Structure 1
Amino acid sequence: MKTAGGSTTAKRRAGEHAAEAVEDGFVVGLGTGSTAAYAIDAIGRAVDDGLEVQGIPTSFQSRRRALEAGIPLTTLDAVDGIDLAIDGADQVADDPAANGYGALIKGGGAAHTREKLVDSAADRFVVVADPSKLESVLERAVPVEVIPDAHTVVADRLRDFGGEPTLRDAEHKDGPVVTDNGNLVIDCAFGPIEEPETLATRLSRLPGVVEHGLFVGLADATYVGTADGVDVREY
């Protein structure tokens, strides 16, 4: 079976393989998206079998999935740290010879601000993906979360950077997408991103930007589900 985002079997294998790394007593960051959902479900089954963990969701979506799976939840300010974060990606830089190997673009679900907060706080951050998410160089539009009053100013600055910004519209209502944090999302196309670290730094410095979807130097590994199993890339 395939979905628009890749093979369901590959996603399930990647998510379930990552869930196997969760140990008794862990605090686990629970990512957002279809592949991370398989990890959440697998952790929930382990909890049913007696595993004791606490989860920190990265979005309303992952919180709801975790509650349905029976995973006890907590918050960042209630724990000393996160042992493992498991999250998906919209695109993964997969060429060891290129700049930014292991860099990610996230934010298709507009949850990248909380995802980056949780993923960066983890002792180990594992990305789960299917092969459709792998590219030698990142090239998807980068989601940029902005405070509502700043979206036109930020869009102008993004054009100065050579980007093509588009305010993300909601699919099931009139008007723009509003994040869990009450902000707007600009999707900015830059073409192939040869220097993701440089671009990430420039975006972070823009006044009005809350967070962006370039994740550089955060992932410790990517688990790629395939038709035959799981390929692991350690960074």
Structure 2
Amino acid sequence: MSSRERILGRVRRALADVRDDDTPYEQAVRRDYLSEHGERSVEETVELLAENLADYRAIVHRCADEELPDVLGRLLAARGARTVLVPPGLPERWLEAVDATRVPDRAASTPHELDRVDSVVTGCAVAIAETGTIVLDGSPDQGRRRITLVPDHHICVVRVPAQVVSSVPQAMPRLDPARPLTWISGPSATSDIELDRVEGVHGPRTLEVVLVSGDEVAPLA
């Protein structure tokens, strides 16, 4: 008897006493838990997001929509970025003040080519205040997952308040589980057995988040 047959046999035995009219899983699991902790205004939710992003060592900036091109230009110049990776759907206006050479998001790019890029600028799918988490879903303004994992510096633009939610339960309905989701809580980091923190092991060492208010994009449903 193969391992596969043994496993399937155990599954059949475990299900032998399950009635055909047993309660479906969707009904058996209670889902009356809180969708957020406490009640917050939109402004308080955005403040909590900024606070938790900073707590995870992300660098947080705020600006109005019309100021975004200048802010991105200043951040990339301060970084000394000579090249910036650009997803295909990133609004052209965002990079009007950027002098760095633009590198397109290409399927053919190798890890070594991506590693030579100085910075990457993306949008996001949603930002979660309670956990300080940015979620990317591979949309045109975010590009392929690997472009935010290999380069050492990531600038992520979050539209406020359209893309900000309080909690993970509120974020889930906005996300498509069939898409390549990347959940980011601060820059990449790990610790060895002596708890010495090392950043940039499996992602960018530096994450900068720009909270943009007054964006023309309507809030998500």
**TM-score band (shorter)?**
0.3 to 0.5
Instruction: Give the TM-score normalised by the residue count of structure 2.
Output: 0.45
Q: Which has the larger radius of gyration?
A: 2
Instruction: Give the TM-score normalised by the residue count of structure 1.
Output: 0.43
